[in-house]
Structure formats: C-alpha cells, structure tokens
Structure 1
Amino acid sequence: MIILDTCVVAEALTPGRDPALIEWLDRQSAETLYLTATSLSELLMGVNEIADGKRKNQIRSALDLLIDRLFSSRILPFDHLAALSYCSLLNAAKSGGTDVTNAVATIAAVASVHGFVVATRDCASFESLGVQTTNPWTAG
C-alpha cells in the first residue's frame, strides 16, 4: 500500500504535470493508493491560496472529484497511534540532528503505523524517519 505525499497529488492536479509522474500513477492499482488527512489539509490550503479565478476553480473541482470518487474511503487519519509514532519518530530524528517539517513527520507517522510506503519527491526526509519511500518521478 502506498501513501501519496502532498507533492504527488499537487503535481498531478496542475496543468503541465510531469509525464513520468502520470505514467507512474497510471501503473498503480487505485485501491492501493491512500492519502493522509495531513496531505488533504495541505492540498485544501494550497487551493485556498490561489487567486480567485478559473485556475483556482479548475484545481478545486479536480481535487473535489479526486477526493469524492477515488479516495473517499482511503484517507488515513492522524489518530492516537499515529501521535505516538510521531513522537517517537520526531524524537529519534531530532536526537540524530535531522530536521523535518511537521507535515512530513505526521505523514511519516501514519505510514509507519500502517506499514505503508510513501510516494514522494522528498525521499530523504521520510527515509530519515525510517519510512520506506518511492519517487514516482524516477521510479521508471
């Protein structure tokens, strides 16, 4: 099972998206792909930051469709088990001198709890937290 990091979904929703990413997504079985509540909140905030207009409306519509049709039953929450994992992962990273964003740490915690791989462009940050990754842009 694979958690799509925010950057994967954001790129897939934008015009001019990288063909390598789209090819990778097309090769995946939809039921193996998941989002986290963290990524969803980042995506929604990203859309809100776009100036009002046609582009914003198109991206918001595409995101709504993606959530409603593809991921409605596959959005993983940041629950109490993820919170425990988050603390453990972040403490280990900090003691090792690694600095990661809160979003990366929460997504990594959810992935760790479920034993999922994270599809991301930022493999180093997730791997520093002990989470297995794949980079759709280079996975071939």
Structure 2
Amino acid sequence: MFLVDTNVLSMGAPGRSEGDATLAEWMDARSDELFLSAVTVAEICDGIAKLRRTGAIARAGRLDDWLDIVLHLYGDRVMPFDIPAARHAGLLMDRARAAGQSPGFADLAIAATAGVHGLAVLTRNIRHYLG
C-alpha cells in the first residue's frame, strides 16, 4: 500500500501536461491501495491560495474543484498528521540533520505518516525520502 506524495497527485491536476499515462493506469488499478496525507491536502491548498492571491482566480477554482473530487475519491483514505506521525517526524528530522540533510517539513511529515501506517511513499522525488 502507498501514500501518494503531492508531486505524484499533482500530475493529475487540471492544466498539467506532464501526466504519465502508465502511472495513471497503474494508480487506477490499485486505487484501493492508495492513501493521501493531510499534509498533501495542505500543500495543494497552499498552491490554490497563492493562485488566488496572484490573480489566477479561474485556475484556482479549477484546482479547488479538482481537489474536492480527489478528496471524495480518497474518502477515508486521507491519513491525518497526528501525534504518532509527529513523533516519528521528529525522529526523521534528527536523522536527516545528523546526515547533513535538510528536507522540508512537508516531506518529513509525509514520510512519517507513511511510516506509522506501514505505507510506502509513492513519489517522483526519491532523494527527498532517502536515508
């Protein structure tokens, strides 16, 4: 089972031309095995808010509608960033610093959420999750 990273989910967003048909087919065939992190929802909402702030109202509206559909499809497969995940994120943060790395908080939170739920992260940015 997999926790879908923001960069993979975003490939299916309206207006994105970088979609990978093979990945989309693979994800469709395994939809019951795919989960999202609430952190991914926050990252997408951040992007929508930025679009609105910078005047791209129509695009923001399309992405907001798309996010509503995504959340409906994932339903109860959206994993919270809760206390166990927060504790695990703290450990991952320390390990990363000890290794001289400085991953972003969102990547740590997504990795921690996956870790506490026994999920693998489905991502296009493998280097963010190594170590």
TM-score normalised over the length of structure 2: 0.87
RMSD value, Cα: 1.4
**Structure 1 position 81 matched with structure 2 position 84:** yes
Q: What does residue 63 of structure 2 align with?
A: 59
Q: Look up the match of 1:40.
A: 41
Aligned 8 A contact 2:27 2:34 in 1: no
Greater share of helix: 2
- Of the three residues 107, 121, 126, the one matched with 1:118 is 121
Which residue is equivalent to 1:138? Answer: none
| Structure 2 unaligned spans of 5+ | none
Moved more, 14-23 or 38-47: 14-23
| Per-residue deviation, residues 94-115 of structure 1 (Å, max 9, x unmatched) | 1111120000001111111111
Percent of matched pairs sharing the same residue? 31
Quick one: distance in 2 between partners of 1:58 and 1:47? 9
Partner Cα distance (2:123, 2:14) in 1: 16
Per the TM alignment, residue 93 of structure 1 is displaced from its structure 2 partner at its CA by 1.1
Q: What's the CA shift for 1:47? A: 1.7
Q: Could you tell me which runs of 5 or more consecutive residues in structure 1 were left unpaired when the two chains were aligned.
A: 129-140
When the two structures are aligned, how many residues end up with a matched partner?
A: 125
2:8 aligns to what? Answer: 8
Q: Which residue of 2 aligns with 1:26?
A: 28
1:76 shift after superposition: 0.7
The letter of the residue matching 2:5 is: D
Give distance in 2, aligned partners of 1:122 and 1:114: 20
Q: Deviations over 1:21-80 (max 9, x none)?
A: 32332232x221111110010011112222102x32222111101102x11201111111
